Structure 1
Amino acid sequence: MSPEKIKFLAGQPYQIRDPELMRDILHARQLVRKLNNLDDEQQEQKQLILSKLFKHIGKNADIQPFFHCDFGYNISVGDNFLCNYDCVMLDVSPITIGDNCLFAPHVQIYAAEHPLDAERRTAMIGLGRPVTIGDNVWIGGGSILIPGVSLGNNVVVGAGSVVTRSFPDNVVIAGNPAQIIRHL
């Protein structure tokens, strides 16, 4: 394993253009391309590809095209996951999704970020922070979750929200930046 991949897996700053990491990205893209070309009737084949792509995939997961991710092996999904069209998960750090979660179209989850320092950024140093989503979470269309965010159980995210901080269980959040608009 390359020194950069060791740093990457440990959650430390790493060189984005490391050859081993670039091979991992290429492998994920090949699996994603196959996944995106399957029809709904091909659930068994979808599950097989997802089991090769993700770190963990629960029962009854359904991901609609066109899905995109960086590595795949940093994504864990619980049972009964429904991911609607055009989802992006930048999984530089772990993305963990609980059971019974629903993603509307165009949901974007970013566990990847770049240094604020321009020299480190132009040197292609990568960073990331995990994103965690609890059980029974519904994320509305066009919502974005940024690095380091955690959502508790039974959270509803209003369409078009930008989630810039973590939220507890049993709330409805919405807006840019997202804020609690109701307790459940």
Structure 2
Amino acid sequence: MHNEEVLVRIAKGLVYTESEAAFQAPLRRTEQIFEYNLTPPSKPERRRSLLTEILGSVGERTVLLPPFHAGFGSNVHIGDDFFGNVNLTFVDDVEIRIGDGVMIAPSVTLTTTGHPVHPARRADFGRFSEPIVIEDKVWIGSNVVVLPGVRIGYGSVIGAGSVVSRSIPPMTIALGTPCRVVRHITDEDLTTRTAGSEIG
């Protein structure tokens, strides 16, 4: 199968294998990610330089605390005023797009890739990939997993420990496994410190 045909299959969310996708290996930024994770806090300029080498695009005033992990790195696009806490994992076989003003708590996984249920279809690491979009001003709590094809809408909050398997509308609080909307964010939240006991 030609590389162009594989790319079409990937874009359609169809199953493809490790061997078929091997031509994409030069897009992996594993060496730079390794170096970033070992760069001391006293060298913020070096960290920033490495981040611009690793990511597909990165905005201003971006904080990404090491260690972080990515399959590629080059398929991740981050906007301005981003804060990513430790142990953020990007499974970025296809694009992950993160808007402005997004905050992500420790030990979050954003995975664009899943695998077929039947073991015969997982031969040669058979998989499918769908992009993830996180819109502006989203806050994602600790230990959240965001699955392939999910879009999290503007301003939303994802409660700690959630597994987000479906897209979440803007300005809502969502939590649980599977993640579900529990309420809308309103002007009343301007006067409270937290979203309430439901996100703990």
Distance 1:155 1:38, change over 3 A: same
| Alignment match, 2:24 | 21
| Alignment match, 1:168 | 169
Could you say which structure has the higher strand fraction? 1
The residue type paired with residue 53 of structure 1 is: I
Q: What are the residue-to-residue correspondences of 1:113-124 with 2, within 5 Å?
A: 113-124=114-125
How far apart, CA to CA, are the structure 2 residues paired with 1:156 and 1:43? 29
The percentage of aligned residue pairs carrying the same residue is: 29
| Alignment match, 1:151 | 152
Whether the 8 Å contact between 2:27 and 2:74 is mirrored in structure 1 is: no
Whether the 8 Å contact between 1:8 and 1:14 is mirrored in structure 2 is: no
Q: What are the residue-to-residue correspondences of 1:43-54 with 2, within 5 Å?
A: 43-54=44-55
How far apart, CA to CA, are the structure 1 residues paired with 2:32 and 2:53? 8
1:182 to partner: Cα distance: 1.9
How far apart, CA to CA, are the structure 1 residues paired with 2:6 and 2:22? 14
Q: How many residues align?
A: 181
| Alignment match, 1:3 | 2
Across the aligned residues of Structure 1 and Structure 2, the Cα RMSD in angstroms comes to 1.9
1:123 to partner: Cα distance: 3.1
The residue type paired with residue 179 of structure 1 is: R
1:24 to partner: Cα distance: 3.8
Whether the 8 Å contact between 2:88 and 2:107 is mirrored in structure 1 is: yes
How far apart, CA to CA, are the structure 1 residues paired with 2:109 and 2:121? 25
Q: What is the TM-score when the length of structure 2 is the normalising length?
A: 0.83
Q: What is the TM-score when the length of structure 1 is the normalising length?
A: 0.90
How far apart, CA to CA, are the structure 1 residues paired with 2:153 and 2:65? 24
| Alignment match, 1:34 | 35
| Alignment match, 2:195 | none
Distance 1:104 1:44, change over 3 A: same
How far apart, CA to CA, are the structure 1 residues paired with 2:129 and 2:52? 23
Distance 1:3 1:15, change over 3 A: farther
Whether the 8 Å contact between 2:113 and 2:129 is mirrored in structure 1 is: yes
Determine helix, strand or coil for the equivalent of 2:127. strand
Q: For 1:66-87, what per-residue CA distance to the aligned partner results, in whole angstroms no more than 9, with x for missing partners?
A: 1000011111000011110111
Distance 1:159 1:146, change over 3 A: same
